[in-house]
Amino acid sequence: MEFWLVVIGAALWGIDPVFRILLLKSLTSTQIVLLEHLILFAAAAPVLWKNRADLRGTSLRQVGALLFISWGGSALATILFTLGLAHGNPNAVLLLQKLQPLFAIVLARVLLKEVLPRFIGPLFLAAVAGTYLLTFGFSLPFAHVNDLMQIGSLLSLGAALLWGGSTVMGRYLLGTMKYETVTSLRFVLALPLLLVITASEGAIWKFPAGTGEQFAVLINLLLQALLPGLLSLLLYYKGLSKIKASYATLAELSFPMVGVLLNWIAFKAIITPAQLAGFLLIWITLFFISRQQDKEQPLQQ
């Protein structure tokens, strides 16, 4: 069950680009992330106060892990991903961002000494192939070299590295903290850094003039913060508290599946046989990883 909580939480991230692309019409990348975290701070602060006992005796290593998931995973990675969507092909950004499992699996092996899932190589390749089919269909890879080499794609790779590392650091922290506490700290600690970055950017705040457009921006921000932000991470960290980081990062492959699907819906695209094959490959990967996880003893906190 915990594995599928991670799948559902990551799937909710897939609706993120829809809100973010709409908001980019009115705000800069850093402004969007800052406003998102201000909303999340209001939701997270009471939870953090309630669970403040979790913070007693926090070690320097734990502080470092918290700063990595908040500054790296919550602030910088989100800014990089948003910039990638603004400056590159959205599908290419989604595809390259899902090299994240490779980064997470390596870090989990090195830092957490995790035993990797069986057949990790073939399963990872099958998942990448499924993501490619979802994104570009049956066309040859060299046909999309220009899309993959754009600045947006490089920004997406940076986000993938930071998010992959955050999966591992989150698993480490969940050994001693409640999942609600880790989720709250991720948002709260990111806020000071985001305030500094947004102020140094010096960009003018360009809110729409009309009341109707302002209301639409506000609704988008609320939905962006509460669905792919708060709800997704609560589900994600609850699941991650009981499974290995290397399993969790493969469960996150539900993200590009939902993200590309919503791109089709938003732009009236038709689902092709290649894209259906991509869905199938990813779900087969998730199924086999889930079966492996079920056979193992759940991790204890």
What is the full per-residue pLDDT of the chain (301 aa) written as tens digits? 788 898 898 888 878 777 887 888 888 888 998 999 999 999 999 999 999 998 988 999 999 999 999 999 888 988 888 888 777 667 667 666 666 777 788 888 888 888 777 777 788 788 778 877 866 778 776 565 665 556 777 788 888 889 889 989 999 999 889 999 999 999 999 999 999 999 998 888 887 777 888 888 889 899 989 888 899 989 989 988 888 887 787 777 777 667 667 766 765 556 678 877 887 887 788 778 777 766 665 454 4
d(CA 199, CA 295): 50
Do residues 110 and 165 touch, judged by C-beta distance below 8 A? no
d(CA 301, CA 248): 16
What's the confidence (pLDDT) of residue 288? 80
What's the confidence (pLDDT) of residue 25? 84
Do residues 289 and 247 touch, judged by C-beta distance below 8 A? yes
Reading the block at residue 110, the tokens are: 């090195």
d(CA 33, CA 172): 25
d(CA 233, CA 252): 12
What's the confidence (pLDDT) of residue 118? 75
Tokens 């705000």 belong to residue: 27
What's the confidence (pLDDT) of residue 301? 44
Domain layout of the chain by residue ranges: 2-295
Query: Which residues lie below 8 Å from residue 240, measured CB to CB, with a gap of 6+?
Result: 2, 6, 167, 170, 171, 174, 179, 248
Task: Write the burial class of residue 196 (CB in 10 Å: 0-12 exposed, 13-18 middle, 19+ buried).
Answer: exposed
d(CA 88, CA 252): 22
d(CA 115, CA 233): 25
Helices (H), the chain: 2-13, 16-23, 29-50, 60-67, 77-87, 90-97, 100-111, 120-136, 145-148, 151-173, 179-201, 211-225, 232-240, 245-251, 254-266, 273-295
Query: Which residues lie below 8 Å from residue 98, measured CB to CB, with a gap of 6+?
Result: 127, 128, 131, 160, 252, 253, 255, 256
d(CA 271, CA 108): 35
What's the confidence (pLDDT) of residue 107? 86
What's the confidence (pLDDT) of residue 49? 93
